[in-house]
Structure 1
Amino acid sequence: MLQNLGSFLVLPVTGPTQAEAMCFFNDISIKHLNGYRPCEPWRNTLMFFSQTVPSARHAAIALALIHRNYLECHSNGRMYQPPALKDRLPDKAPLLHYNRAIQLLLNPESDDSAEITAVTLLVCYLFTCFDHLAGDDVQAMKHLRGGVALSRNTTLNCCTYGDAQSSGVHTTICQVTQQIRRLDMQAAMFLVDWTPANIQETSLSDSTFWSLDQAADHLQVLVAQAMRLRNTEQQISPTGTMSPLPSSPKDIVLAQLGTWSSLFENLLQQGSPSESDVATHLLVSLLRLQHTIAWTLLRGYGPGREMDYDNFLPQFQQCVALAGEVAAAHQRYSGSSRPTFTPEIGFIPVLYIIGVKCRHPKVRREVLTILRRQPIREASWDSISTARVVERVIEIEEGAAGEQQMVPYMEQIPVWRRIEALSYIHIPCGQSADRVDITYTFCGQEGLHVESLMIERTERHIMSNN
């Protein structure tokens, strides 16, 4: 693909800082960005554009600098504090490169509309990653929404890029569009009011999967539909009640999840030369994990049915086992227990759901162990913050001290003590410990409950489980 882009010139670096940042981007950042679904052509594209296109170069440097800061803070035993606003960055270099990339995008050197579109989409992707790491999730989602809109318009007009050189550019546009579409679908896992584009585009009745990637793309649409159905109906209210899901859409998604599972298992039975790869094993376990939790959520959801989640203990136990496999494979893939960041959604939201909906004391504590094994950030999700929220839910529902004491059986948690609806927001606090604000309601009770939780230092969380 890259050879079809015409002649190019590798941009020179202007100093040791840029050189180090580009090495970090090529060796570390690119590997982490799509760690759950590695794609060598996509990594080559990121590397190519960051080396040859000025705006992409500055966006890549900005991301590399803030990514390195994130890793170094953890390595030095300090807790990484993503600033609430980017102008609070102690080192202004990332922001300078970020702004320079914007300036170059607004004044493109090329007159080729296809090339401009490809570069703009790629920078939107890098900016989305940057802003998540910078703690500005609102801005990250603005970049993502802009990338989605541009990619949809480009898809409708792709036939205009007909010359020989544009064929390579069009391939790049398709690559980055696929990445942006994935992030768009996955955003439904952490934003209640997010509606992904093309969320209705799935039909599995007469299909077969020819690759894990295709199976993954179909599943993320179904998971987005499941979360969208649940989120639109689960509105926290002063009465603590929730409306039932519309039976027809729920049944349709459940049927599609069943079809997906059959097609997926058929694909795995066919076998492939890469079955033993760490990345392949990780993806297979991750897909099974996400499918199982989506199915469980839809089957168990409904007003006055919080106690029914106890009936899904086998599914929750299966999910925890799969999450443990994914976490272990992810750790092997990343090469160490060092922190990782990816804009993709993996297993953290699944563990969060299990931690707050499965009342089995041992299962919950297994969730905490996995979350605290390695500091991981998946878009807006942070494993350490998520563990603290789950820990607090355990304290509230078990009426004890979390990990120190626990009820022997989940049936001992009465319905009136169970949290029915819960939301939380992570609030960076500069140099002090971070804060998580949680809002929740109890089953069958009126009124909202609001608490603020302080996040302890990451190293203390990790050491407590070693």
Structure 2
Amino acid sequence: MLVRPNFVLWHYTEAIKHLQARLEGDLEASDVALLCCLLFVSLECLHGNRILVMDHLKNGLNILRSSQLKELENPSSSNANSKSIKQEVRPLFHRLDSQTTLMGYPASSLFNHMDKLLSLHTPRSFKDFEHAKTSLDLLVASSLGFIRDIHDGKHAESGSVSLSARTLQVHLLSEFTIWNNSMADFVKARHPSTDEDNKLEKSLRVQHTASFIWLSRCTELGEAGFDAFLPEFASIVKWSRSLMMPSTETKDPCLHTRLASLSIDGAAKFSLNMAYIPPLYLVAIKCRDPITRREAISILEETNGREGLWDARLHAKVARRLVEIEETNLLMSEGAKFVYMEPGPLMRMIADGQVRTIMTPPDERFRVHDMDIREISEGSRGTCQATIRTWPYGLLEGKFQWTETIHF
């Protein structure tokens, strides 16, 4: 049955009107508002409307912040059912805030206030996988907010990073180490584990490892330091590949996990959770091992769907272009005149009509240091504007920053 867009839009608008009326008539209806915010975020994510996603997320974070303050002032201000709903959906807001931070939007002060980050303490043991996931969500959301702040200040002030920021970085890295140790103890205690346990562990380790790498390098302008993490990049790819394999449905009792991972057989998969698309994109743009980064791009291209704002198809195409830029300039420095990346799954570099294999990581001056994705238009043939930065080193052509239109 064909559903007319106006019909859907009318119901969408009516839902917002009813929500506003509910909030005006019941000041304690924040639980309903939070659930509706998640629904609106999901709908706009599916449509690729990032501006409205940010609007709904901002409203949800404001509601969450307000309700937390109200509960601190008056613990009896909300009933047990309302508190339960907020407790269930709060991790989703942590994850969504992390996603928007990675997409270039400023982090919410709900998770990246310096005093809160310094007081962040990871549990020394986990009761179950959900406990481990919730702990990691908070740690990742907090760290990515810090990374974004450092990124913006670092590029604006020629690499200047304050001592307090570096102290905070060390603290956050130590919390990641604690989480890793707690996870290892938890997995060891559950032995023997099921196939589903193994998948849950790999999913968490993918996110943990990617966030740890980014946090470790966020205070440095140079890209060569990422080469120290080549084994970790390879692990992310290996774990992600195994996560693509079909498995039995996870019987997860938690509302926020079920809400975030609804899918229909045969349709493009959609989840509000970050699983492996953002980590694989990190591998593709920061790992200079030619085999590992190409495997990461291949998995993205094979993935039919998106995780929140992260579209696998879009990010695979952007990553392809970044690899082509870096390896083209490396080959041109060796004397090649005409270089391009061959279309298709092999992603071979063609230099003056010959297939050329990159054997070693490129020199610092040939690396892309930053790439911002903006003005994304959805559809069967989507486009985006990618701003590429090579400052402070620059490429052979002397370009420091330029913008390209990328089709996906």
1:137-189 CA distance string (max 9 Å, x none):
11112111211221232234343457xxx433442343334433442344333
Q: Hey, what's the Cα distance between the residues in 1 that align with 2:23 and 2:120?
A: 42
8 Å contact from structure 2 (residues 367, 390) kept in 1: yes
Residue among 263, 281, 286 paired with 1:352: 281
For 2:200, the aligned partner's letter is: L
Q: Hey, what's the Cα distance between the residues in 2 that align with 1:428 and 1:323?
A: 27
Written as runs of structure 1 = structure 2, the 5 A alignment for 1:99-118 is 99-108=13-22, 113-114=27-28, 116-118=29-31
**Partner-residue secondary structure (3-state), 1:92:** helix
Counterpart position of 1:404: 348
1:182-234 CA distance string (max 9 Å, x none):
42344333234123513436643663221222221222222233323332232
Counterpart position of 2:374: 425
8 Å contact from structure 2 (residues 23, 33) kept in 1: no
Question: 1:451: Cα distance to partner?
Answer: 0.7
Q: Are 1:253 and 2:172 an aligned pair?
A: yes
Q: Hey, what's the Cα distance between the residues in 1 that align with 2:123 and 2:23?
A: 47
Written as runs of structure 1 = structure 2, the 5 A alignment for 1:224-263 is 224-235=141-152, 242-244=159-161, 246-263=165-182
Question: 1:265: Cα distance to partner?
Answer: 0.9
Between 371-380 and 105-114, report the one with greater CA deviation.
Answer: 105-114
Q: Are 1:371 and 2:300 an aligned pair?
A: yes
Question: 1:359: Cα distance to partner?
Answer: 1.1
Counterpart position of 2:384: 436
Q: Hey, what's the Cα distance between the residues in 1 that align with 2:49 and 2:378?
A: 13
Residue among 451, 454, 458 paired with 2:404: 451
User: Per the alignment, do residues 230 and 105 of structure 1 end up closer, same or farther by CA in structure 2, a change over 3 Å counting?
Assistant: closer
Residue among 188, 194, 218 paired with 1:276: 194
User: Per the alignment, do residues 298 and 206 of structure 1 end up closer, same or farther by CA in structure 2, a change over 3 Å counting?
Assistant: closer
Q: Hey, what's the Cα distance between the residues in 2 that align with 1:210 and 1:291?
A: 18
Q: Hey, what's the Cα distance between the residues in 2 that align with 1:218 and 1:238?
A: 30
1:384-436 CA distance string (max 9 Å, x none):
0000001001111111415032533133x232211011111252166x72112
Written as runs of structure 1 = structure 2, the 5 A alignment for 1:41-190 is 91-108=5-22, 113-114=27-28, 116-158=29-71, 159-161=75-77, 166-190=79-103
* CA root-mean-square deviation: 3.1
% identical equivalent positions: 23
For 1:453, the aligned partner's letter is: I
User: Per the alignment, do residues 441 and 92 of structure 1 end up closer, same or farther by CA in structure 2, a change over 3 Å counting?
Assistant: same
For 1:295, the aligned partner's letter is: F
Q: Hey, what's the Cα distance between the residues in 2 that align with 1:224 and 1:385?
A: 23
Question: 1:134: Cα distance to partner?
Answer: 2.0
Extract unaligned runs of 5+ from structure 1.
Answer: 1-15, 18-64, 66-89, 456-466
**Partner-residue secondary structure (3-state), 2:274:** coil
Q: Hey, what's the Cα distance between the residues in 2 that align with 1:129 and 1:363?
A: 32
1:243-269 CA distance string (max 9 Å, x none):
447321111111111111111111112
Extract unaligned runs of 5+ from structure 2.
Answer: 251-262, 329-339, 350-355
User: Per the alignment, do residues 331 and 299 of structure 1 end up closer, same or farther by CA in structure 2, a change over 3 Å counting?
Assistant: farther
Aligned residues between the structures: 361
**Partner-residue secondary structure (3-state), 2:302:** coil
Counterpart position of 1:47: none
For 1:319, the aligned partner's letter is: I
Between 149-158 and 96-105, report the one with greater CA deviation.
Answer: 149-158
TM-score, normalised to structure 1, is 0.69
TM-score, normalised to structure 2, is 0.78
Counterpart position of 1:26: none
Q: Hey, what's the Cα distance between the residues in 2 that align with 1:356 and 1:305?
A: 14
User: Per the alignment, do residues 304 and 142 of structure 1 end up closer, same or farther by CA in structure 2, a change over 3 Å counting?
Assistant: closer
1:74-104 CA distance string (max 9 Å, x none):
xxxxxxxxxxxxxxxx722221111010121
Counterpart position of 1:34: none
8 Å contact from structure 2 (residues 387, 402) kept in 1: yes
Q: Hey, what's the Cα distance between the residues in 1 that align with 2:161 and 2:283?
A: 21
Q: Hey, what's the Cα distance between the residues in 2 that align with 1:351 and 1:426?
A: 22
Q: Hey, what's the Cα distance between the residues in 2 that align with 1:243 and 1:440?
A: 21
Counterpart position of 1:21: none
